A and B are shown apart, each in its own frame.
Chain A
Amino acid sequence: MSAENFNLLSWGRFPRVLGQTALWPTCASDLPALLAATRKTGSASSETLLARGLGRSYGDACLNEGGILVHSTPLNHLLEFSLSTGIMKCEAGVSFAELLDFAVPRGFFVPVTPGTKFITVGGAIANDVHGKNHHWAGNFGSHLIQFELARSDGSKQICSRTQNSELFFATIGGLGLTGFITWAEFHLKKIAGPWIDEETVKFTNLDGFFKISEASEKSFEYTVAWIDCLASGKSLGRGLFFRGNHSLEIAPRRPQRAWQQLLNVPFDLPPWVLSPAAMNFGNRAYYSRICRPLVKRRVDYDPFFYPLDAIANWNRLYGKPGFLQYQFVVPFSDGGRVLAKIMEAISRARMGSFLAVLKIFGTPPSQGIMSFPKPGVTLALDFPNKGKPLLALLDRLDQWVVEAGGRIYPAKDARMSSEVFRASFENISRFVPFVDPGFSSSFWRRVFRP
């Protein structure tokens, strides 16, 4: 067990917080004693703990200013796996990348995956992550059977739907505030092979998106759209709709080429590289690359699910100031109108960037008390960090989202106000009793003031 002072960042590299101490546990059984010894009673944020996985949260949900970050990645062992049931039990520091390396050759896949495979199982639970198949499979928490939670008083509890169930549902989507997950057991799903039958459909405006989405829901397991967030007027919300299913094709994967391993952004790019003009050009080029209205391909699962993972450290493209990701969901009843209003505002402000993703959330219920997804439509965008004008824009968008009954995704958030958070997460009062007094995060201290 060793401690070192190291300024750990989040994926968006904003905000940059100070005074974090990192702890590397050596093994799972040491953890309860380690947590209890580190935690001092009756103190402020300076001695609070927070588990740290691979740090892919964009904002400050994975940061703990002035506090202690306990790395989960040393706890990266698979513990049990059944080929007949597909049930996997592993330590919480195992990444989805490692899970897939193990599972795909054996004919299994993760039941739900977000847009990057470089997340830990613990992080997947703490954010109750969702993916392109939300409308069929819900969030990751729905596939969870049980896990063990270590708390700051040195105790360990096994949580499931029948045992410590309230703590179970508080920890799913609980952003690491209930304790440190040491291991978890969950279902993997059976697949025939590593290929995805993918279709790409071009659409010219937001109405087009809704039409294709509705038409694709029943027959496509995975659906998501990329949209040009700089387009406006008649072209507002134009983009490409990606839909796919696991292919029955069982041919082996093609090995990665040597040059692909070298794709890396080795240092911060100067901020002027991703200028509005460059983004606009990039968006136009990406939209135009598909000439026909419908393109069908068979692709390896890796580029289908994880296109950005191919470029190591792609977050450095945004330079030292970093970037903000803004993801929200608005319910269906007013969804189309509010969405159009928000997209118009973003387009007019000319602050958006290349990455804008739109998806319909389906009816599978979110199981965690603080889980983000609800039925409706969700939009996720990257914004280069332009300081005050950007923050003002996002505050305005927050108001529209909350008025429409929607909410902002904590895993991506770096700046929503306490009022917006409380207004949109109606179950906070049910969650708070389960927050471990020895755990905290910069996010939690920002949005929750008792």
Chain B
Amino acid sequence: MSSPNQQSSSDQNQTIVVLGASSAIAQAVLRLLAKGGTQFLLIGRSEAKLGPLAQDLRVRGAKLVETFATALDEPSSSELILARVRAFSTPIDHIFVAYGALGDHEFAVSNQVAALKILSTNFTSVVSHLVSLTPMLMDQKAGAVTVITSVSGDRGRQSNYFYGAAKGGLSLFLQGLRNRLQPFGVRVVDVKAGIVESPMTQHLKRGLTWSTPERVAPPIVAAMKSANRAVYIPGFWRLIMAVIRLIPEKVFVRLKM
């Protein structure tokens, strides 16, 4: 049951708040969105990184770009973010969450602080910010939320289970949120991204399934415009993860993925 105020399918003059704007994937996506005369509130840790990005988006056609620097990985910054969003000149149409950190998995295996940090950066802080911001969309009875999660959230494996758990938990949370927000006409898009070349992954060895921010940006933009479900990007990951999920546990425990 969608409201007559539903406007998320329109290209033009969208207002988007971006949590983690300087991430590689976010930058590629925002460059595509800037063409439509979009308005952006860019939120990230470093003003020095947000500044040039804001200029870039304005050159590419963004109608208005403002920046706000704060530590996104701290759940405590949700209040600051909410205040800043409320102070933005127009109502928000779209909340785009694009930040995350792999962390040092091997170190976290035996270090509680490091382990909990991976979870809070990738899961609890995101939940905190969304709980703080979604009431606004519910009041408007319109809008959308897009969060970049990961295919590694589909099955726990020995090489990456903190990040995987965080992203997997986030996908589950988004699924519930989608269910909850449907009567309000608000869409929730879960972008399950495969492995992408970026500063976050630059220390890892490249492989055949690797993609680039420029390659994944167009399908992400398409999903942001109209999807209301979990989307695997690039699409071939849907098949790969379906197969991986089918492997019996007795077999999987012996693997070294």
Residue ID in chain A nearest B56 by CB atoms:
A77
Residues of A contacting B55 with CB < 8 Å? 77-80
Q: Are B60 and A78 within 8 A (Cβ)?
A: yes
Q: Are A27 and B59 within 8 A (Cβ)?
A: no
Greatest chain A CB density within 10 A among B22, B46, B59 is at B59
Q: Are B46 and A26 within 8 A (Cβ)?
A: yes
Q: Are B60 and A102 within 8 A (Cβ)?
A: yes
Residues of B contacting A30 with CB < 8 Å? 48
A24 an interface residue at 8 Å Cβ cutoff? yes
Kindly identify, within residues 32 to 56 of chain B, every residue whose CB is under 8 Å from any CB belonging to chain A. Answer: 46, 48-49, 51-53, 55-56
Residues of B contacting A2 with CB < 8 Å? 199, 202-203
A74 an interface residue at 8 Å Cβ cutoff? yes
- Report Cα–Cα, A30/B49, bound state, in Å: 9
Q: Are A24 and B199 within 8 A (Cβ)?
A: yes
How big is chain A's contact interface, by range? Answer: 10 to 19
Q: Smallest distance from the beta carbon of A254 to chain B beta carbons, Å?
A: 18
Q: Are A74 and B199 within 8 A (Cβ)?
A: yes
User: Tally of A-B residue pairs with Cβ under 8 A?
Assistant: 42
- Report Cα–Cα, A29/B203, bound state, in Å: 23
Greatest chain B CB density within 10 A among A4, A26, A30, A75 is at A26
Residue ID in chain B nearest A97 by CB atoms:
B214
Given A78-B55, A79-B56, A102-B60, also A29-B48 (CB < 8 A): yes
A28 an interface residue at 8 Å Cβ cutoff? yes
Residues of B contacting A80 with CB < 8 Å? 55, 59
Residue ID in chain A nearest B203 by CB atoms:
A4
- Report Cα–Cα, A28/B202, bound state, in Å: 19
Q: Are A81 and B46 within 8 A (Cβ)?
A: no
Residues of A contacting B48 with CB < 8 Å? 26-30
Q: Are A91 and B199 within 8 A (Cβ)?
A: no
- Report Cα–Cα, A2/B203, bound state, in Å: 9
- Report Cα–Cα, A416/B248, bound state, in Å: 61
Kindly identify, within residues 128 to 179 of chain B, every residue whose CB is under 8 Å from any CB belonging to chain A. Answer: none
- Report Cα–Cα, A257/B111, bound state, in Å: 50
Given A78-B60, A79-B59, also A91-B202 (CB < 8 A): no
Residue ID in chain A nearest B48 by CB atoms:
A29
Q: Are B52 and A79 within 8 A (Cβ)?
A: yes
Residue ID in chain A nearest B208 by CB atoms:
A266
Q: Are A78 and B203 within 8 A (Cβ)?
A: no
Kindly identify, within residues 174 to 219 of chain B, every residue whose CB is under 8 Å from any CB belonging to chain A. Answer: 199, 202-203
Query: Among the listed A24, A27, A75, which residue makes an inter-chain contact with B46, where contact means beta carbons less than 8 Å apart?
Result: A27
Residue ID in chain B nearest A81 by CB atoms:
B59
Residues of B contacting A4 with CB < 8 Å? 202-203
Given A2-B202, A91-B52, also A78-B46 (CB < 8 A): no
Query: Among the listed A24, A29, A78, which residue makes an inter-chain contact with B59, where contact means beta carbons less than 8 Å apart?
Result: A78
16 A/B residue pairs, CB under 8 Å, sorted by A: A24-B199, A24-B202, A26-B48, A26-B49, A26-B199, A27-B22, A27-B49, A28-B52, A30-B48, A75-B52, A77-B55, A78-B55, A78-B56, A78-B59, A78-B60, A79-B52
Nearest 3 CB-CB pairings of A with B: A77-B56, A77-B52, A78-B59
What 9 additional pairs, Cβ within 8 angstroms, besides A26-B199, A74-B199, A75-B52?
A26-B49, A27-B48, A27-B52, A28-B48, A28-B52, A77-B53, A79-B52, A79-B59, A102-B60
Partner-A contacts on B (CB < 8 A): 22, 46, 48-49, 51-53, 55-56, 59-60, 199, 202-203
